[in-house]
Amino acid sequence: MHYRRLGRTGLKVSTICLGTMNFGWSADPPTSFAIMDAALNAGINFFDTADIYSSWIDGNKGGESETLIGRWLDTKDRRDLIIASKVRGRMWAGVNGEGLSRVHIMQAVEDSLRRLNTDYIDLYQAHFPDNDTPLDETLAAFHALVQSGKVRYVGVSNYPAWLLTKTLWLSDVRRLARVDSIQPHYSLLHRDEFERELEAVCLDQGIGVIPYSPLAAGFLTGKYTRENNTPDTSRQASGLIRRLVENERAYAALDVVRRIAETHAVPMAHIALAWMLARPSITSAIIGARTVDQLGELIGSTDVQLSEKDISDLNAATDGF
């Protein structure tokens, strides 16, 4: 497994990050534990979760993923793992049950620490913006958590370029803990949102980039075809998938991914991930797995070396997405 520094920090994280949204949802506890064991054995030291995972499932209330990670951590050396979690979504009833206010953050971090069975979170991230809370209030709360040792580094997710820039400026002016990473939605088939402005900010300011959905919700694995655009899956089709299965250019791009994968004798997913990891701005790509076998199919992507022509062909095939 390959490792990179997280932005301008000294923290080294694996270039594959294990996303754990499936835990307590499409992966039951024994399967979740087995996936984490397999990831750690493969050299993946970076796990990403969020307090709301998976509150959208009937019978769940949020915190299921963190709880399973905490149970698993009880038998592991905490120092071997980099644990990232996120705050923002609704976790309890009432006007302060969601958001990025100091009140919500301070309670939410205590709840996450308890569920995760740890006394610190390596990377604590604002899951998405909160327009109802002053930005300096959010940053001051994060700063207090870093000062207390409960959080080691701070990140954001789903922030546009202008808001990330404002966040960096404000933390500099107020001498608050600096945002060191961002989680954008990014893949071969969802490029423009990140590449248009956000990528340049991250490169200029030394921000670690940890994209989610790098396989376009599974579309880039090749399981969706022109002949079968509704393959069996345990996951409900996302809005992204619904758009892609109706787009002939998306299938044409898949043809290019498939051709390059056959040349390298690797799964198509390896090509999509290798393309992303070859980009200088990218720190680590978040992958999810419902089974140990699925995880095993993705790990080898870090060893794939794409040629300049491979990358050029992939860029041309997906330009405009």
> Which residues of the chain form beta strands (DSSP E)?
3-5, 12-14, 16-19, 46-48, 82-87, 121-126, 151-157, 179-183, 208-209, 285-288
Q: Sign (positive/negative) of CA torsion 277, 280, 284, 290?
A: negative
Indicate which residue of 53, 153, 159, 186 is catalytic: 53
**Is 262 strand, coil or helix?**
helix
User: What DSSP designation does 189 have?
Assistant: T
Strands 12-14 and 3-5, bridge-based pairing: antiparallel
In angstroms, what CA-CA distances link 58 with 25, 26, 30, 237, 312?
10, 12, 20, 17, 44
Question: Would residue 224 show up in a list of annotated catalytic residues for this protein?
Answer: no
Cα 114 to the center of its chain, rounded Å: 22
Distance CA 120, CA 36 (A): 19
Q: At what angle do helices 135-148 and 102-116 cross, to 10 degrees?
A: 40
Torsion of CA 290, 89, 155, 319, to 10 degrees: 60
- Residue 170's closest CA among 161, 179, 158, 183? 179
Torsion of CA 317, 318, 320, 321, to 10 degrees: 150
* Residues identified as active-site: 53
